[in-house]
Amino acid sequence: MTDPQVAMLMMGSFIVSILLGFPICFTLVAMGTGFGYYAYATSDQLSHIFLNNIFDLLVNQTYSVMINDVLVAVPLFLFMGYIVERANIMERLFYSLNIAARMVPGAMAVAALMTCAVFATAVGIVGAVVTLMGLLAFPALLKAGYDEKLASGVICAGGCLGILIPPSIMLILYGAVSGVSVVRLYAGALIPGFVLAGLYILYVIGRAWLNPKLAPKPPREEWDIPLKELLYMILTSFVPLAVLIMSVLGAILFGLATPSEAASVGAFGSLALAAAYRELTWERLKQSVYLTMRTSAMVCWLFVGSWTFSSVFSYLGGHMVIEEFVLGLKISPVLFLIMAQMIIFLLGWPLEWSEIIIIFVPIFLPLLDIFNIDPLFFGIIVALNLQTSFLTPPMAMSCYYLKGIAPPHIQLTTIFKGSLPFLVMVLISMVILYTFPVITTWLPSIVYGVN
């Protein structure tokens, strides 16, 4: 076999291994080391079995991950999210936003989406947001008489916003993989994130206005409270979390701090916020630290395995095979983007977004220059596309998260049906970005100039 054929065998073996359920990060390390041993083998390899460059490569890649300044922000943002998640802020936030939106059709669903958007921005962990909102808002929506499919779709779609709206951990990982500035990625994702959240809210309002039975209004006595009391509720629930998020995001976007520095301030701010709400206990702090370390270790090992795997894959000529295949199709940049997004969309069924970003997106990055595509624009489109992987049956993970904590009478098919209209909203937002890419590039170019 030629080296490129071995590279294709390497990729095929990896895909089969993860479909069989092997741990992805360690599968990457094993595949990279095993095929790398063949790739870097010398003529006297049998007499010096441990003198192979693959071992140096593995150590160097591990060291590169440990000293990567961009990745320092990951555990800090995770810690911030886990602390906020355990501070029971969502209940106050959801209740106050529900009262504030009382005159809007589908007020409770709109409040749930707004809570999801704010909380997903602070937490950035899809499973955590969907689970918490499923425990808090989903029973309230059902009790208020909301349609089961509409209520399910609201929770599932709203919980996914955190991987797009800054400060997004996904964009940090994409920046580390692609070399694009995380600050520019945050600026580029801001407007698309609000566009998607706005489409969700407009859809809910439109459905509730056309068919009020789907989202009945609550009795007046449930929401008729004095304005002064409402302002106090918002001041004590929405404002502190919003100030924390905007302080972190503003410091990054205006160049006052690096993402890592802002994340450290955000982590400290989350501790102060939890203490102010009298929710900071030793047990919650211990759980947050443990979950942060576990998730951070997974991300770091994914990087080690991915960079080792991709280095060996490129050394064997695998990237050249893919590049020659794509160029042989003689497609336009738009068709290349559509093809790449279709592949990422399909990969979203068996894989998590972190694995797609770290493992498979780097395969497309060398082709961006050939098709004259801005890596920043590509990254935002990927982040938007990954929303669909959480909402598309049969592997819609947000639907499974909700099903795990939903009342027994709520069928998984009901949750799937409720998520599909929001999937259409994601596709509409992608079409908008394809048609008007300036939505993504305008803010970074205005604030930071042309890259």
Total domains, the chain = 1
The dihedrals phi and psi of 246, each to the nearest 5 degrees, come to -70, -30
Residues 6+ apart with CB under 8 A from 381: 337, 341, 430, 433, 434, 440
Whose structure tokens read 């922000």? 73
Taking only the tens place, the pLDDT of each residue in 17-64 is 877 777 777 888 888 888 888 888 876 666 677 777 888 888 888 888
What local confidence, expressed as pLDDT, does residue 221 receive? 59
Residue 227 lies in a domain: yes
Residues of the chain with pLDDT under 50: none
Region of 411 please: left (phi>0), alpha (psi -120 to 50) or beta. beta
5: in domain: no
Query: pLDDT value at position 209?
Result: 92
Which of 14, 6, 75 has the alpha carbon at shortest distance from 315?
Answer: 6
Q: Who's near 228: CB < 8 A, 6+ residues apart? A: none
Residue 449 lies in a domain: yes
Residue 25 resides in a domain: no
Which token pair is 238?
């929405």
Two structure tokens written together for 252:
């990054």
Q: What is the DSSP letter of 127?
A: H
Give all strands (DSSP E) within 5-48, no chain letters. none
> Given the structure tokens 């590279």, which residue do they identify?
7
Largest CA distance in the chain: 85
> What pLDDT was estimated at residue 124?
64
Q: Who contacts 368 (Cβ-Cβ below 8 Å, separation ≥6)? A: 374, 375, 378
Amino acid sitting at position 403: K
Write out the two tokens for 286.
């211990």
pLDDT of residue 25: 79
Q: Structural domain of residue 315, as residue ranges?
A: 70-451
Q: What is the pLDDT of residues 250-284, one digit of tens each?
A: 888 777 888 888 888 888 988 988 888 888 888 88
pLDDT of amino acid 198:
92
- Whether residue 2 is contained in a domain is answered as no
Residue 267: inside a domain: yes
Asked if residue 8 belongs to a domain, the reply is: no
Q: How remote is the C-alpha of 412 from its chain's centroid?
A: 23
The CA distance from 86 to 75, in Å, is 16
Inside any domain, residue 35 = no
Give the model's pLDDT for residue 311. 84
Q: What pTM was computed for the model? A: 0.82
> To 10 degrees, what angle do helices 375-391 and 438-448 make?
130
- Whole-number pLDDT of residue 451: 59
Q: Report pLDDT for 100.
A: 75
| pLDDT at 44 (0 to 100) | 66
Quote the tokens at residue 129: 């947001």
Residues in the chain: 451
What burial letters (b/e) apply to 147-164, b meaning 16+ CB within 10 Å?
Answer: bbbbbbbbbbbbbbbbbb
Q: Rounded to an integer, what distance in angstroms lies between the CA atom of residue 81 and that of residue 21?
A: 28
